[in-house]
Chains A and B, each alone.
Chain A
Amino acid sequence: DSGVTQTPKHLITATGQRVTLRCSPRSGDLSVYWYQQSLDQGLQFLIQYYNGEERAKGNILERFSAQQFPDLHSELNLSSLELGDSALYFCASSGRANTGELFFGEGSRLTVL
């Protein structure tokens, strides 16, 4: 158990809909990262937050947005969903030793029908 909690584990929805994925980092970690893994693909970095502020941004679509709240949990919002958004979405946290070492949650598997 990495200590990073993601909900929901599985989500099935329709095209055009909006979903919210939630992540609670390890206790004491200030950074949260979001990654997308499409079928048989590698992990694509989406966005990073540090202590509530956006720190780095990757190839995140404009239809996607994220935020980190004062209690350090984070949410990834996906809107106007398309079939191609079906993927495994991972959250990771880091920060205790400020090394950038990442610890991943179990992921949220999104299926868009």
Chain B
Amino acid sequence: GIQVEQSPPDLILQEGANSTLRCNFSDSVNNLQWFHQNPWGQLINLFYIPSGTKQNGRLSATTVATERYSLLYISSSQTTDSGVYFCAVDSGAGGFKTIFGAGTRLFVKA
């Protein structure tokens, strides 16, 4: 089945710093999403981005489907950005079956 790799696995930032999270996938996908899991366990939709670039405030994402990767940019990080960022892709086999990467654990220091 499709493999999803996220890097880096862990990231520590000083408040105000910028960062780039990467998601590589092993096969073509029908869609791709980025989620933030906050310290309370809630999964929050960030982007639905099968291709192209989107921006939402301090966050933006780019997916290059032909090269099988997606990037999540966080600018001017805040302590509330801490948590785990997941990339999830739909392989399209046997109906929708969204597979998650292992995540990037981000800690933003005040």
Contacts and interface: CB of A to CB of B under 8 A. Distances in A.
Nearest to A35: B100
A71 interface: no
A99 B88 CA distance: 13
B41 A55 contact: no
B43 A99 contact: no
A6 to B, nearest CB: 11
Given A42-B101, A42-B103, A100 B96 contact: yes
Interface string A5-33: 00000000000000000000000000101
19 contacts: A33-B96, A33-B98, A42-B86, A42-B100, A42-B103, A43-B86, A43-B100, A45-B97, A48-B97, A50-B95, A55-B94, A94-B96, A100-B96, A101-B45, A101-B48, A102-B33, A102-B98, A107-B41, A107-B43
Interface of A: 2, 31, 33, 35, 42-45, 48, 50, 55-56, 58, 88, 90, 94, 99-104, 106-107, 109
A103 to B, nearest CB: 6
B97 A58 contact: yes
B13 interface: no
Given A33-B98, A50-B95, A94-B96, A99 B31 contact: yes
Contacts of B31: 99-101
B27 interface: no
Given A43-B86, A101-B48, A31 B43 contact: no
